[in-house]
Amino acid sequence: MDHRIILAVMVSLQVVNCTEAEVKPEVMTVKTLYTQGMNPKNAVHYLWTPVQHYRGMTFAVCPDVNLRPLVTQITGKGVITSVFLDGGTNPVYTACADGHFRFTMGIDKNGYLHIIGDMHGYSPWDGNYIDRYQRQSNMYWKSNKALDVRGGFTFCGGLNSATRLPGVEFGGDSRFFNDRNGELFYNSRVRAFKGSNLNGSEPFIAY
C-alpha cells in the first residue's frame, strides 16, 4: 500500500448577486500543493502540528518512507523545496517507527521554524538514539534562516543548553501555537516533578 501525505488548499467562492440581494451556493475547489511518501508507522495526526502556513507560504515536516524526517517549503508560486531535518550522514538519523514519536512544527513572529519530535518519554537518561541525540534535554531544532529551509536546521535541545525547552521526560503528543501577536508557544506533556517512591512516569506527567 502506498502511504502519502497530501497537502491541499480549499478555496471557497461565494457568488453574490447585488441587484437581487441573492446569495448563491458556494463553490468549493481543492488544489493539491504537494505529495510525499511516508511511513505509516510515524505519519501525521491531528494532535500534532506538522503543517504551518505563514506569509503566503506552506511548511510541513514528516518522516519519509525510510523514517528520515523531511521538511518541505512551498512558496505562493508553488515552488517546492525539501530538505532533511538532520542532514548528517555519519550516521543517518531516522525517527522511531511509532506514532507516539510524530513531529510538530511552529513558526515564530520572525519567521523561524521550530521543530520538535521523535521523543515519546524522551529524557536526559535516554540512550536509545544515535550518539548525537543520546542523553540530551529534548529533540528540538530551529531553522537557521527565516522562512527558508535551504539554510538547514540547528539542534537546540542539548543537555543544559540555553536553547533547550524547559522540562524533563517529554511526552510524544505536542503542538505549537501562536497568540494574536505572533508569539510562539509550545504545549507538551512533561514530568511535573521529580522524586517519588511511585514507579513509572505516568503519575507525574502534566501539560
DSSP 54-82: ETTEEEEEEE-TTS-EEEEEE-TT--EEE
Residues 29/17, Cβ–Cβ less than 8 Å: no
DSSP 8-state secondary structure symbol assigned to residue 150 = G
Largest CA distance in the chain: 75
Q: How far apart are CA 174 and CA 185, in angstroms?
A: 11
Per-residue pLDDT 10s for the chain (207 aa) are 566 666 665 554 444 455 555 666 777 788 888 899 999 999 888 878 999 999 999 999 999 999 999 999 999 999 999 999 999 999 999 999 998 899 999 999 999 999 999 988 888 888 889 999 999 999 999 999 999 999 999 999 999 899 998 887 787 678 999 999 999 999 888 876 655 544 444 444 444
- Give the global pTM: 0.83
Residues 168/187, Cβ–Cβ less than 8 Å: no
